[in-house]
Amino acid sequence: MSVKSIPDRMSGNEAVAYAIKQVNPDVMPAFPITPSTEIPQLVSSYIANGEMETEFIPVESEHSAMSAAVGAESAGARSLTATSSAGLALMWEELLLAASNRLPIVLALVNRTLSGPININCDHTDSMGARDTGWIQIYAENNQEVYDNFLQAYRIAEHDDVRLPVMICQDGFIISHGVQNISLLPDEPVQEFVGTYTPEEYLLNPGKPMAVGPYAVTEYVMEARKAQRVAMENAKQVILDVADEFARVSGRQYGLFEEYRTEDADYVMLLIGSAAGTAKDAVDQLREQGVKAGVLKLRVFRPFPEKEIAEALKNCKAVAIMDRAESYNGQAGVLGSEVTAGLYRNHSDVLAINYIYGLGGRDFTTDDAAAVFNELKDGVENGKEIEQYQYVGLRG
């Protein structure tokens, strides 16, 4: 039975900071960067007010923040940090170390474009750039979801079948600074759900010496990478199991993705993050006009749910794959590449068109979404050739 929620109004950053307070991890090293700065700021205020016991470590850079998180987690402490954009890029080396050392760190990432040109607004350049570092990536559409995702993060990361770090991603400014109604869980059920961290192997375990991050000779590297891949594959079922348990506590159910009016949809828009709300509004308007449109909102990007996506799209006629990041491969964005490859491997013949939208915070409106759906419809019904890999809302 779900517990009684506490209604409140919070920004996405406030929601994440409140979730961190409830989890009360052991160590949080952090360095400020827009638009994630509020998260360590609020956590440090909670600590100063005696509301949590986390050891907050102010550091000189984001590289140092992740280095400190790797050290703390290696020592047996439940650890986290928060960052955005260039801060994540500066952590690159340490992201790979955290994952390859199988350290279940949680990173609160507020998505912001990477330079250049210099810009502080939202797109998914930062997290998509880190897609192959070995981290689990979970995205939110709104403030409620980012709060709920963070509460589930440690249960996923610390699971014996996983032992991988997790990025909890939210769109910069759109979610991070936008205030929405939110349902919070009481502290005690959260702490019971998350549980305590009891690592089997850690540096400060007396009488059981170990090494973290030793040099691996040629005979071991491939085996270590395969073990990481198996862990990432295991994470898919763990994410679903944790979501089911969270639903029993909160009454809110999550999966690898959310399907909105897709049961009979001829045309589906697949995308990540806050723009899913815009797409849903467009779907509702198009349904009133007799257009069978739907949305598939991808929540979990790593591990990538290839087979599940192909199954969800098997009955539609066309899908618009929406990327909020460039890949510069000349063929498609990141989602465009991965989704179409997955459809091919699963023998799907659905028409798949890739669109780039919202870079550097460019608005994505219901009119934009409707135009994409209508273009799919025109291609299917009238045989119009649709340009593959095109930009939405590009100024001439």
Is-cis flag, bond preceding 358, omega within 30?
A: no
Maximum alpha-carbon separation in the chain: 73
Q: Which residues contact 327 (CB under 8 A, 6 or more apart)?
A: 128, 333, 334, 336, 337
pLDDT at 209: 86
pLDDT digits (tens, 9 = 90+) for 151-181: 999 999 999 999 999 999 999 999 999 999 9
**pLDDT at residue 396, as a whole number:** 82
Per-residue burial over 291-317, b = 16 or more CB atoms within 10 Å of its CB, e = otherwise: bbbbbbbbbbbbbbbeebbbebbeebb
Helix (H, G, I), strand (E, B) or coil at 147: helix
Q: How confident is the model at residue 327 (pLDDT cuts 50, 70, 90)?
A: very high
**Residue 58 C-alpha from the chain's centroid:** 25
Residue 288: Cβ within 10 Å count:
8
Q: What DSSP string runs through 270-285?
A: EE-STHHHHHHHHHHH
Q: What percent of the chain has pLDDT over 70?
A: 100
- Which percentage of the chain shows pLDDT scores above 90? 96
Residue-wise pLDDT tens digits, 29-55: 999 999 999 999 999 999 999 999 999
Is residue 2 within 8 A of residue 52, CB to CB? The reply is no
pLDDT at 207: 84
Q: What confidence tens digit (pLDDT) does each residue in 49-104 have?
A: 999 999 999 999 999 999 999 999 999 999 999 999 999 999 999 999 999 999 99
Q: What is the mean pLDDT of the chain?
A: 97
> What is the predicted pLDDT for the residue at 110?
99
C-alpha span between 48 and 53 (Å, rounded): 9
> Whole-model pTM?
0.98
| Residue-wise pLDDT tens digits, 227-276 | 999 999 999 999 999 999 999 999 999 999 999 999 999 999 999 999 99
Query: Strand 293-298 vs strand 80-83: parallel, antiparallel, or unpaired?
Result: unpaired
Identify the CA nearest to 107 among candidates 62, 145, 142, 57.
62
Task: Report the 10 Å Cβ neighbour count for 114.
Answer: 18
Q: Count CB-CB contacts under 10 A for residue 130.
A: 22
What number is the average pLDDT over the span 273-299?
98
What would the two tokens of residue 217 be? Answer: 């000779």
Query: Given pLDDT bands bounded at 50, 70 and 90, which one contains residue 303?
Result: very high
The 10s digit of each residue's pLDDT in 127-148 is: 999 999 999 999 999 999 999 9
